[in-house]
Structure 1
Amino acid sequence: MRSIPADFVLDGAVVESLKGTLSVLLDAAYSDEEAITWLFTEDESLPGTPMNALRTGRKTEIRRRAQALAW
């Protein structure tokens, strides 16, 4: 049985910025598992997790960080 993390859903729909952010992470050669781990790893500089930041509309900051992972 497959499932998705509850935090991927907001107000009954998938978090709008999640698809693009996952694409950036996969382009940076992250596996699905590594991408999900990154999204849910606490980051003191945010504070919180990248997923929390996406849920609160901070897409640009999170995508910038994800793009930096590719270098």
Structure 2
Amino acid sequence: MEVVPLPDVAERFGQPVTRVHQMIRDGHLIALRREGVLGVPTAFLTDTAVVKGLPGTITLLRDAGYQEDEILRWLFTADDTLPGTPIDNLRGDRGREVKRRAQAMGF
């Protein structure tokens, strides 16, 4: 999984890096450390914004009791019934199905 450092995310969005930190605190993004640098998975980003549906999906999974590492694992694990990974489907046109599955995981 490729990761983009937070300053690069801010530049991509045309926002200050403090706004990216706020997005992480608000649960709209998940960041992880790679070689001591905090970054966001490239798959979570479009050219100018967070992938549509990702913040809501993260919230649903957190509400279901998932921790950040479990959320990342779920988003990037292939699911033959989707097909592909949940994050690939969020990036495409199957966000509703991904959110439905994330919500069902809480029950």
Asked if Structure 1 and Structure 2 have the same fold, meaning a TM-score greater than 0.5 normalized by the shorter chain, the answer is yes
Q: Which runs of 5+ in 2 are unaligned?
A: 1-36
Q: Separation in 2 of the partners of 1:18 and 1:57? A: 13
Q: Separation in 1 of the partners of 2:92 and 2:50? A: 13
Number of residues of Structure 1 aligned to a counterpart in Structure 2: 71
Task: Could you list the structure 1 runs, at least 4 aligned residues long, displaced by more than 3 angstroms after superposition.
Answer: none
Larger relative contact order (Cα-Cα within 8 Å, sequence gap ≥ 6): 1
Q: How does 1:21-60 map to 2 (within 5 A)?
A: 21-60=57-96
Question: What fraction of aligned residue pairs are identical, expressed as a percent?
Answer: 46
The structure that is strand-richer by fraction is: 2
Counterpart residue type for residue 44 of structure 2: F
- TM-score, normalization by structure 1: 0.94
Of the three residues 43, 46, 67, the one matched with 1:10 is 46
- For the aligned residue pairs, the C-alpha RMSD in angstroms reads 0.9
Q: Which runs of 5+ in 1 are unaligned?
A: none
- In our comparison, the structure showing a higher alpha carbon Rg is 2
Deviation at 1:12, TM superposition (A): 2.6
